[in-house]
Amino acid sequence: MENLLSMEHLSNTEIKTLIQRASEIKNGQYEPQQYDKQFVANLFFENSTRTKSSFLVAEQKLGLKLIDFETSTSSVQKGESLYDTCKTLEMVGADVLVIRHSQNAYYDELASLNIPIINGGDGSGQHPTQSLLDLMTINEEFGSFEGLNILICGDIKNSRVARSNYHSLKALGANVMFSSPDSWKDERLDAPYVDIDEVIDQVDIVMLLRVQHERHEQSESKQFEVNDYHEHFGLTLKRYEQLQDHAIVMHPAPVNRGVEIDASLVEASQSRIFEQMENGMYLRMAVIDYILQKKG
């Protein structure tokens, strides 16, 4: 693995290696080397709290030197292309780039770069480190993926998290189901769409997705009603009470409280939402360490 671009590019062995290494870092069983002579640049062309912050902490824990880069003060504002920006950073000494961009598969135009790229999210395409931290959280809870019944609820069409998790969970042997308004379904993903109320008492994991207003057509936004969505597709108190005792609740965040999930359930006993955030930092340490070791 020279880059981390999408979950479809990872083998099951690579997935398990990365989440195992992240768990070992978290539990003090593996001490990554310090990369105090190497440089990283974080290029976030979309807003981010969890992904950007956890990458920053992971990088500093690994001893990497950070190249100061902000899109608002860079030559991007003068019309510089993504390729030219990245090539410039390569030439001034960056050893790895972490990139989030609104363009799907932006990394295709960066194939000729000679430094690794870690995809921090591309449009409505893929979000591999989010998927990996979700898998780490699931593995901590269940120790396996085979046969788990997983319900992913919400904005499937616009969610890179749904797409990444669908591919990885299916490859690892889980049973993935979707629940979504008709206009937010993605028929390119071959998973059954179900009524949340018909399966909520049978699932091992209910994974809620943020409603992504910024990616919707105007007509879709006009049709969206918060109370209606929460009633038909959200995790209400009534649905939470129907969960099996061992079932867990997940959400990639940021959370629209009272929309995807009742506000009182974000830190409920079966919620793992904040554990996901903690695991994200360890997982991103593991990814950077793995890639830089491969790079030599």
Please, which contacts does 220-223 make with residues 24 or more away whose CB atoms are closer than 8 Å? 220/183, 220/184, 223/183
CA dist 282 and 58 (Å) reads 7
Determine the Cα–Cα distance for residues 228 and 153; give it in Å rounded to an integer.
14
**Contact by Cβ (8 Å): 61, 28:** no
**H helix runs in 27-95, sequence order:** 50-61, 82-91
Sheet strands side by side (includes 205-208): 175-179, 149-153, 205-208, 248-250
Do the annotations mark residue 100 as ligand-binding?
Answer: yes
Q: How far apart are CA 134 and CA 88, in angstroms?
A: 33
Find out whether 160 is annotated in a ligand binding site.
Answer: yes
Tell me: is residue 130 an annotated ligand-binding position: yes
127 is in an annotated binding site: yes
251 is in an annotated binding site: no
The DSSP annotation for 190-222 comes to ---B--HHHHTTT-SEEEE----GGGS-HHHHH
Q: Are 66 and 56 in contact (CB under 8 A)?
A: yes
Give the burial class of 92: count Cβ atoms within 10 A of its Cβ; 0-12 exposed, 13-18 middle, 19 or more buried: exposed
**What is the distance between the alpha carbons of residues 29 and 255, in angstroms, rounded to a whole number?**
32
User: How many CB atoms sit inside 10 A of residue 77's CB?
Assistant: 9
- Is position 210 annotated in a ligand binding site? yes
Annotated ligand binding at 253? The verdict is: yes
163 is in an annotated binding site: no
Burial of 141 (0-12, 13-18, 19+ CB in 10 A): middle
Q: Starting from the edge strand earliest in sequence, which strands make up the sheet with 65-67, in order? A: 65-67, 39-44, 96-101, 117-122
Residues annotated in a binding site for carbamoyl phosphate:
50-51, 100, 127, 130, 253-254
Residues annotated in a binding site:
50-51, 78, 100, 127, 130, 160, 210, 253-254
Residues annotated in a binding site for L-aspartate:
78, 160, 210
